[in-house]
Amino acid sequence: MTKEKKILTGSDKIIGVIILVCFFSSGISGLIYQILWTKMIVKVIGGAPYAISIILTVFMGGLGLGAYLVSKYIDRIKETGKLLRTYGILEVAIGIYAGVVPFLLKGFLPLYSVLYNQLYHHYVIYNLLTFLGVFIILCIPVICMGATLPILCQFYVSSLSHLGTHVGRLYGLNTIGAAVGALLCGFWLIELLGVTYTLIFAVTINCIIGVFCWFISSKLSNNYPVSKEKTAEKVSRKISVPQKSLPDYDKPGIEQKSSLILNGALAIFAVSGFCAMAYEVIWTKLLGLIVGPTTYSFTIVLFTFILGLGLGSIIFGWLADKVKTPIWLLIATQVASALFVLIISQLLGNSQLFFAKMIFTFQNHFALLSLTKAAILFLFMILPTLCLGATFPLVGKIYTQSVSTVGSSLGFAYMVNTVGAVLGSFCAGFVLIPLIGKENGLSFVIGLQLLIPLVVASIIIVKNRESTFKRSFLIAVAIAGLVLCLFLPVWNRHDLAHGRYHRFEYFKKVLTENGWWKSLLYGSRIMNSLSSGELVYYGDGIGGFTTVTKYINALGRADYTLSNSGKADASSFADMPTQTLTAHFPMLIHPNPKTVMVLGLASGITSGEVLHYPVEKLDILEISNEVVVASNFFRPWNNNVLSDPRSKLIVQDGRAHLQLTNQKYDVIISEPSNPWMAGLSALFTCDFFSLAKDRLNNEGIFAQFIHGYQMDWPTFALVGRTFAQVFPNNLLVTTNLGTDYIMVGYKGKSHTKALSHADHKMEYIRKFKNLELSDPKLLYMFIVSEDMQRLFGDGEINSDATPMLEYMAPKVMYADDPMIHKNILANAWISPDIEKTFNEIINNVDQQLNFLAYTISVHLETHNIVCPAGATPAQKERFLSLVDKYCAENIITEPFTSDEVNKRCIETQIEKVKKNIDRMPDKALSYRFLANQYQAKGDWDNSVIYYTKASQINPDNAFIHEGLAASFCHQGRIEKCIAEYREALRLIPDLGTSLNNLSWILATTRDEKYRNGVEAVKLAEQVCRQTDFQNPFALDTLAAAYAAAGRYTDAVETAEKALLLVPESVKQSKLAREIYDRLLLYKSEKAYVVPPS
C-alpha cells in the first residue's frame, strides 16, 4: 500500500470543523424529530406496542434504506463541492418535510379512521396497512437522513490511513448530537416551547445547516475536483481534502483474505446492531422498574446509552488507524461488550435498594436527582456502550477497500447494521421478553454477541492458518462468557414486582440504615427480607410489566394486588372504593345508560360493576395483554366481566380508539394510572377530554379518575382546570374521602340531582356484591364540588401542543401536598339542594349507619367508628354488628377513638382467629397476631403462649422474638426477656426497638445480676446513631445507660437534649415529666432504677 501525505491548510481545518458541527447539529434535530413524530403519530394510530414498533421500524429502516440507496451512486460524484451541496439539499429537504408532517397526519386521519373501523379485527392486514401509511408519511425525511452519513463520509474521509478516525469522528459526533437532542427534548424544549415551537426549532437547525453547506459548496465546486488520477502534491494544493489512493489488493493471497475479513466484519456489524438495540430495549424496560417509569427517567436512559455509543465511535475510530489488524480489535470489542453487559445487567437487576436510596436522598431536589441519576447510569453503561460504539469505525476501516468507494462501502455496511438493529428492537420487545423474560432474553442476546465473533475468529484462524496461541486468551474469554450466560443474569422477581422508586415511607428505615456500597452489593438480599406476599403472576411482555401479588392477612383473608411497572394500580381490597364508585356514580346519575366504554381494564372490577346495570354494550379498552391475563385473578370480584356477552375487549390505545371509532357512548369511564408515568399524561389533556366529549351521545357522562396523592396543588389544579374547560357542567367527587377523585363531566345539562331520584335502580343496586348501598343519596356524601371552574380558577391548560403535565407530574411524584385538601375545602361549592341532602344524612341515625355499612363494605379504612348519638337499642345493635363485621375482616392498624369499640374489636378478632386457626394458611402470622391482641388486652400469659407457638413455626422471625421479649418483661421474667431480645438482634442486628428496649433493661433493671451499663451504652448509642440523635425517647434510654455506666455528665447532657426534642404535643405528658425527674437524679449522680411494680 502506498503511503499518503496529508497537507491541510487553515481553511481545510475550518471547513472540517464546520462539517463536524453541522453533522452534530443534524444529530440533535434528528432525535428531536423522532421524539416529536412519535408523539404526533401515536395520537393517530395509538400507543399500542405494535404501533410504537411500527414507528421505530419505519424510522430506523428508512435510515438504512437511505444509506443503501445513496451508496449506489455516491461514487459517481467527483467534486467535493457537489458532495457538500447534495448534503445541504438533503438537510433542507428534511427540515421542510418535517414541518409538513403534522399537516400530512391531519390529512391521513380520516383515511385511517376508515381503516380502523373496517379492518381493526383483521390484525395482520390492519398492522400492515398501518406500517404502509406511516412509511408513506415518513419515508422521505428518514431516507434523506440515512443518505447524509455516506455522503459526508465520502466528503470528509481523505485517506485510508485516517479512515477510522474520520469516520468515527463523524458518526460519533452525530450520535452525541442525537443524545443531546434527546436530552433537550426530554427536559426543556417541549416543556418550555411546546410541540409546535420545538418542531420549528428543529426545522430551523436543518435549514441553517443546508443553506450554510450550499454556500460553502459554491466556493468549493469549481476549485476542488476529486480526481484519483492527479498526484498527491497537485491535489493537496487544490482540494480541501487530501489525496485519495487505492490500496494494492492485487498481490497473491490478499483478495482471499480480504473477502473473508470483509464478510466476517459485516456479520459482526449486523449482530452488533441487533444486540445494541436489544440491550437498549431490555435495559430501558428494566430501568423503568428501578428508577421510575417517567419521561425524565427514560430520557436519561436514552441519553446515557446513546452518549456512550458516540464516545465509543470516536475513541475506537482513532484506535482503528493505530492497529495493524482491526478485525481482531473488532472481535475483542464485541466480546468485551457482551461481558460488560452481562456484569452490568446482573448489577442493575438487583440494584433497587441502591437506586431507591439515591432517589430518597435527592427526592426534594429534582435537578440534583436528575444529575445524579444520569451520572450513575452513565457509569453503569459506559463500558458496554463504548465497545458497542466501536463497530462503525472499525467496520468502516475493514470494509472500505478504496478511498474512492468510501461512501458506497459505508452506506452498504450501515444498511446491514440498521437491518440488524431493526430486528434486534423487534425481537427483544415482541419475542424475547414475552417468551423468555428479560433475564433470559439478555442471556440469549449476550450469547449471540459472543458466539458470532467467536465463529468469525475461528474461521479466520483456520482459513489463514494463523497460530491460535496469540488469540487463545480472547477465545477463552468468549467461551467463558458463553458458559456464564447459562447462569446469569439472575434477578429477584418478587423484588422487581414492587417498584421501590417511590412510596418510601414503607421502607424508610432500610434506606437510612444501609450505606451505598451495601445497598448496591447486597440490596437484593436486604429487600428480600422486607418482601411479603406471594407473586402469583409475572407478566413481562409486549404491553409492559404486570404482576399480581397475593397477600394473606392474619385473619385469613386473601387480598390480590395488580401492579404495572412496579406501581400498584388495582386490588381486591384497598382500591375497592375507587374501583366501584368510578362505575356507580356515572351509571346511577345517567337516566338510561345503554352503551358504555371503560378505558383501562386493570382488575376488571370497575367494568364488572357496570354490568350490574341493563347495558347493551360495554367496550373495554386495554393496551396490555398482560393486564388482561392478570385480571383473571380478580374474577371473584369483577363479575366475570370478560365472559359476559355484552362485553367487548379491545386491546388498543384507548385514546386512539376515541379518535378513530364511529361508536358513540352514553357513559365513558377513564381510569388511568398516575400521570407521572410516561405516556399517561396524554390522557389528561384538553384534546383527550374533547375526544371523549365528541364520542358521547347527547346528555352523556364522562368520568375521569385522578389521584390526589403524589402531586402538588398546582399540578392537581392544572388537570381540574383543563377538564372544566372542556366540560363546563361538571362535578368533583372523592371516592375514599380524601386521596382519590373522579371528575365527572356532562355533555349537556347537569344530572347530579338524579341521585335523589335513583330509587328505580335499586333492583340493580341489590345485585352489588362488592359494596352495600342501601340508598343512592348516600353518594352525595362524596361530592366535593359542583363548580370546578370556581375551585381551580383561571390559569394554564394542559394540551397536546403544550403537554405541561408530562413534565410537572414527575417532579412532584414524591410529594403529598396538604394544600390539595385545604384548597378544596376552602374553594369548593355545593348547591343548596345537595347541601340540604348532605345535612339530612348526617343528622339521621339510620342514614349514618347506612353510610357506615357502605364504607365497611368497600373496605374504606376508618378509625372514627362511634355509635351515632340518639341511637335506639335496635340501631345500637346494628352498629355493633357492623363493628363486628369490620373487625372480622380488617387488621386494625390504629386504635379507634372509642374504647368500647376497641375492646369489642379485639375480642372479635381473637375469637375469629382461634376458631379458624386450623384453616389459616400462615399459622405463624395468625399466632403472632393473636399474641399482639392479647398484649393489647394486657393478657401477658396468653401473649407468651401464642408468641411461643409462632416462634416454633418461624424461629427466624426477629419480630416474633421481639414481641415475646416484651411479654416476658411484663411478666417480670427478665432473664427470658433479655434472651429473646438478644435473639431478635442476632437475626436483625440493627432492629431499633430491640436495641432500645434491651438497653433500657440493662441500664435500669432492679436485678443487679442483669444490669450492664457498658453494654447498655453501646446498644443505646447504636439506636441513636440510626436516628441521628434526634429521637427524644432513644436519647432518654441513652441517658439512663450513661448513668448506669457512671457517666453522669453525659447522662445530664443527653437527658437535657431529650427534653428539648420532646414534641410540643406531649410536653405536658407523663413521659416528659418522667424524663425530667430522671434528669434530676443524674444531676445528683444517681442512676435510674425501675421502681417495683
CATH fold for the domain made of 576-838: Rossmann fold (3.40.50)
Of 410, 36, 353, the C-alpha closest to 189 is 36
pLDDT on residue 224 = 43
Q: What is the pLDDT confidence band of residue 257, given thresholds at 50, 70 and 90? A: very low
- Of residues 1057, 1025, 71, the one with CA closest to residue 515: 1025
Task: Of 214-218, 242-246, 862-866, 1042-1046, give the lowest mean pLDDT range.
Answer: 242-246
CA distance 740 to 580: 12
Q: CA triplet 827, 829, 834: central angle to 5 degrees?
A: 150
Q: Provide DSSP, 309-348.
A: HHHHHHHHHHHHTT-S-HHHHHHHHHHHHHHHHHHHHHHH
Helices (H), 120-250: 123-156, 163-184, 190-220, 232-238
Q: What is the pLDDT of residues 967-1024, one digit of tens each?
A: 999 999 999 999 999 999 999 888 889 999 999 999 999 988 999 999 999 999 999 9
Q: Do domains 1-227 and 1013-1093 have the same CATH topology?
A: no
- Based on C-alpha coordinates, what's the Rg of the chain? 35
CATH of 1-227, one of 3.40.50, 2.30.29, 1.10.3470, 1.20.1250: 1.20.1250
Written in H, E and C, the secondary structure of 965-1028 is HHHHHHHCCHHHHHHHHHHHHHHCCCCHHHHHHHHHHHHHCCCCCCCCHHHHHHHHHHHHHHCC
What digits encode the pLDDT tens for the residues 433-455?
888 989 999 999 999 999 999 99
pLDDT digits (tens, 9 = 90+) for 832-860: 989 999 999 999 999 999 999 999 999 88
Alpha-helical (H) ranges within 428-487 are 433-463, 472-484
Angle between helices 873-889 and 899-915 (to 10 degrees): 50
Give the domain ranges of the chain: 1-227, 252-531, 576-838, 1013-1093
- Residue 777 DSSP one-character state: G
Higher pLDDT, 265 or 225: 265
Residue 697, classified by CB atoms within 10 Å of its CB into exposed (0-12), middle (13-18) or buried (19+), is middle
The pLDDT score that the predictor gives to residue 8 is 47
**Burial class of 134 by CB neighbour count within 10 A (0 to 12, 13 to 18, 19+):** buried
Model pLDDT, residue 1068: 60
Would the pLDDT of 893 be above 80? Answer: no
- Would you say 323 and 329 are in contact if contact means Cβ atoms under 8 Å apart? yes
pLDDT value at position 247?
A: 45
What is the spatial distance between Cα 564 and Cα 673, in angstroms, rounded to a whole number? 9
Percentage of residues in the chain having pLDDT higher than 90: 69
- Give 975: exposed, middle or buried? Use CB within 10 Å, 0-12, 13-18, 19+: exposed
What is the spatial distance between Cα 521 and Cα 637, in angstroms, rounded to a whole number? 41
Highest mean pLDDT among 150-159, 640-649, 904-913, 983-992: 640-649
- pLDDT value of position 1064: 67
Q: Could you tell me if 1040 and 1079 are in contact, meaning their C-beta atoms sit under 8 angstroms apart?
A: no
pLDDT score recorded for residue 168: 95
Length of the chain: 1093
The cell numbers describing 365, all together, are 431536589
CB 637 within 8 A of CB 605: yes
Average pLDDT over residues 377-394: 96
pLDDT confidence of 10, banded at 50, 70, 90?
A: low
Angle of CA points 228, 231, 237, to nearest 5°: 105
Q: pLDDT digits over 504-533, tens only?
A: 888 887 888 788 998 999 888 888 777 788
What does the alpha-carbon distance between residue 58 and residue 139 come to, in Å, rounded to a whole number? Answer: 7
For the question of whether the overall pTM of this predicted structure is more than 0.95, the answer is no
Cα distances from 495 to residues 492, 501, 559, 753, in angstroms, run 5, 12, 18, 47
Protein fold of 252-531: Growth Hormone; Chain: A; (1.20.1250)
Percent of the chain with pLDDT over 70: 94
Given this model, what pLDDT does residue 340 score?
97
Burial tier of 973 (Cβ tally within 10 Å: 0-12, 13-18, 19+):
middle
Mean local confidence (pLDDT), 889-910: 82
Helices (H), 699-768: 713-726, 762-765
Residue whose C-alpha is closest to residue 696's, from 648, 745, 742, 650? 745
pLDDT digits (tens, 9 = 90+) for 313-347: 999 999 999 998 999 999 999 999 999 999 999 99
- Answer whether 174's CB lies under 8 Å from 21's CB: no
CATH T-level assignment (fold) for domain 1013-1093:
1.25.40
On whether the CB atoms of residues 805 and 689 are closer than 8 A, the answer is: no
What is the bridge-based pairing of β-strands 696-707 and 730-734?
unpaired
Q: Which stretches does DSSP call E strand in 671-813? A: 696-707, 730-734, 740-746, 783-785
What CA dihedral angle connects 198, 201, 202 and 208, to 10 degrees? 180
Q: pLDDT per residue over 1019-1058, tens digit each?
A: 999 999 888 898 898 999 999 999 999 999 999 999 999 9
**Tens digits of residue pLDDT in 217-244:** 877 744 444 433 333 433 343 333 433 4
* Cβ contact 702:744 at 8 Å: yes
pLDDT in tens, 1074-1083: 888 999 999 9
Q: What is the mean pLDDT of residues 483-498?
A: 91
Exposure string over 438-467, b if 16+ CB within 10 A, otherwise e: bbebbbbbbbbbbbbbbebbeebeeeeeee
Q: Give the number of other Cβ atoms within 10 Å of residue 77's Cβ.
A: 18
Please measure the distance between the N-terminal and C-terminal CA atoms of the chain and give it in whole angstroms.
100
Environment class of 124 (CB within 10 Å of its CB; exposed 0-12, middle 13-18, buried 19+): exposed
260 vs 643, higher pLDDT: 643
User: Residue 587 pLDDT more than 50?
Assistant: yes
Residue 277: which residues within 8 A CB-CB, separation 6 or more? 60, 420, 421, 422, 424, 425, 428
Asked if residue 252 has a cis previous peptide bond (ω within 30° of 0), the answer is no
Mean pLDDT of the chain: 89
Q: Where are the alpha helices (DSSP H) in 786-831?
A: 788-792, 804-808, 818-827
